[in-house]
Structure 1
Amino acid sequence: ASEGDRLLAIRLLGRGPASQTEDVSRLGEILRPQFSAPVQQAALDRLKQINNPQVGETLLTGWKNYGPSLRTEVLSALLSRLEWVRDLLGAIQSGRIAAAEVSPVHQQRLLRHSEEKIRKQAGKLFAARNPDRQKLIENYAVVNHLTGNAERGAALYRQNCLACHQLKGEGNSVGPDLGTVADKPVETLLVAILDPNQAFETKYINYTAVTKSGRELSGIIAAETPNSITLRNSGGADEVILRSDLKELTSSKLSLMPEGLETILKPQDMTDLIAYIRK
């Protein structure tokens, strides 16, 4: 069937009560990355109109397969009905969805929800911290009292950060340009470096794609078109994959930025690196 025929057929699904449960499942399948972006959007638009408790669970079931742009739309849909909001919070509570995968905008909506129970549950979920990482960050607070050497920091940047970040015209555009965070407090930089999964933009989530030919690729989704996705790996190289060639696309729930940099960067090294970033 042509894409036009598919779009017309999608608009008819879920209208009859007798077939609604089956149609919700069909629409959920259409959200898979093998389908073009317009077809995915049409299926989501139709699901949003169906007042059925099964819809929330259907949207959550495919979460790990959604690209960043579709995730934003799905989160907005889930927040549109109270029952689906409860499903979303349940998924975060159980670990099916990482709290950091929910954008700050959507977190704010949950924290300001009209229902007090929702506000309280969201407050607990989004305040949760990795205790080991938190202790590590506290141990690195000494950085505030050390003197940094920007020249040594430049060498550390080139060894450890340049593959994924740009700074002062050097590096790759995989993660954020470090020049944009140069004016942030030291505490904020320590969290970003030592506990990268505490909070990050959804566009920096690491995905793994498996093609029908058996290739396995990993990286952030740098671009999406109706018929393809572009994965950018940690070295900055882009790989375009046709949706029709995709066997599977899953998110790791984690930032592409790795944990464990404390094994390489001791407090004085961290001080030097931050001095270079802020120079």
Structure 2
Amino acid sequence: DPAVGRVLAERWPGFTPRLRAAVLPVLLARPERARALLDQVEAGVIRRTELDSTQLDFLMNHRDAALRARAIRLLAGAVAGDRAAVVEKFRPALSLSGEAGRGRKIFVERCASCHRLGGEGFALGPDLVSVRNAGKEKMLVNILDPSREVLPQYLAYEVETRDGESLLGVLVQETEAQVTLRQAYGRDVVVPRANIATMQSRGKSLMADGLEEGLGPQDLADLLEFIGSAP
């Protein structure tokens, strides 16, 4: 139904974060829905930073030339391009005293849809217990520049189906008959190989650049303290 994308995009303000994460793949799946998404981005209803780096890249390289050009115009400045400069801007967080309680709130709001820690969250990206031993500086870089170093099992994949859908996610299982993509909040999408037109990775993390949007060094210090101290 061509109206699906328009209705979902217009109802965006009333959606919870978890519902927004479920709606975005639906909006990206077909060109007419992606156009409705861009309508709401242009209207200021959907913030550009609500799309992760893979979703931004997908739209700005879309097979539909007109949609691609519009996405570039609207989204090219969504995230600061120089991630190294962003890391340096937030480096003072490493010398600040963090408060784990405040950090937990940031984790729940911005990280738990894709990471597990202390019994909370969903396993899409690495379990943060396994990465915190690398130290706070390494964690800060991973948070602010998530595609600098990505293990193969966490690369984002883009699947185009023969019936015209576009799907994004981390490849968690593949057999001779099908592949399984995992999206935010642990949602798995199974795609029969017979229905796959193309499948490729752009070599990026599914984690969005720009997590620091609206945060300061103290907030990052709080988040790092929570990650480092959570059971």
Q: TM-score, structure 1 length as denominator? A: 0.52
Matches within 5 A, 1:1-279: 132-279=82-229
In the aligned structure 1, how far is the partner of 2:126 from the partner of 2:205?
A: 12
Q: Which residue of 1 aligns with 2:48?
A: none
Q: CA deviation at 1:152?
A: 0.5
Secondary structure of 2:219's match?
Answer: helix
Unaligned runs of 5+ in 2: 1-79
Letter aligned with residue 91 of structure 2: A
- 1:131: Cα distance to partner? 8.6
- 1:180 aligned partner, one-letter code: S
Secondary structure (helix, strand or coil) at the match of 1:223 reads strand
* Contact in 2 for aligned 1:205/1:255 (Cα 8 Å): yes
| Residue 260 of structure 1: how far off its partner (Å) | 0.9
The residue that corresponds to 1:88 in the other structure is none
Residue type of the alignment partner of 1:165: H
Residues 47-106 of structure 1: per-residue CA shift (max 9 Å, x gap): xxxxxxxxxxxxxxxxxxxxxxxxxxxxxxxxxxxxxxxxxxxxxxxxxxxxxxxxxxxx
- RMSD value, Cα: 1.6
Higher relative contact order (CA 8 A, sep 6+): 2
Which is richer in helix?
1
Gaps of 5+ in 1: 1-129
Q: Answer whether contact 1:234 1:256 (CA < 8 A) is retained.
A: no
What residue identity is the alignment partner of 1:182?
A: R
**Matched position secondary structure for 1:262:** coil
Given residue 188 of structure 2, which amino acid in structure 1 is its aligned partner? D
Tell me the CA shift for residue 261 of structure 1.
Answer: 1.3
Q: Is the 8 A contact 1:194 1:261 kept in 2?
A: yes
Question: Among the aligned pairs, what percent are the same residue?
Answer: 37
Q: Displaced runs of 4+ in structure 1, greater than 4 A?
A: none
SS of corresponding position for 1:163:
coil
> What SS is found at the alignment partner of 2:185?
coil
Rg larger in structure = 1
In the superposition, the TM-score normalised over structure 2's length comes to: 0.62
The count of aligned residue pairs is 150
Shift of 1:169: 0.9
Name the residue aligned to 1:34: none
Give the letter for the 2:116 counterpart.
Answer: Q
Change beyond 3 A, Cα 1:131–1:174? closer
Q: Is the 8 A contact 1:174 1:234 kept in 2?
A: yes
Question: Deviations along 1:9-53, whole A, 9 cap, x unmatched?
Answer: xxxxxxxxxxxxxxxxxxxxxxxxxxxxxxxxxxxxxxxxxxxxx
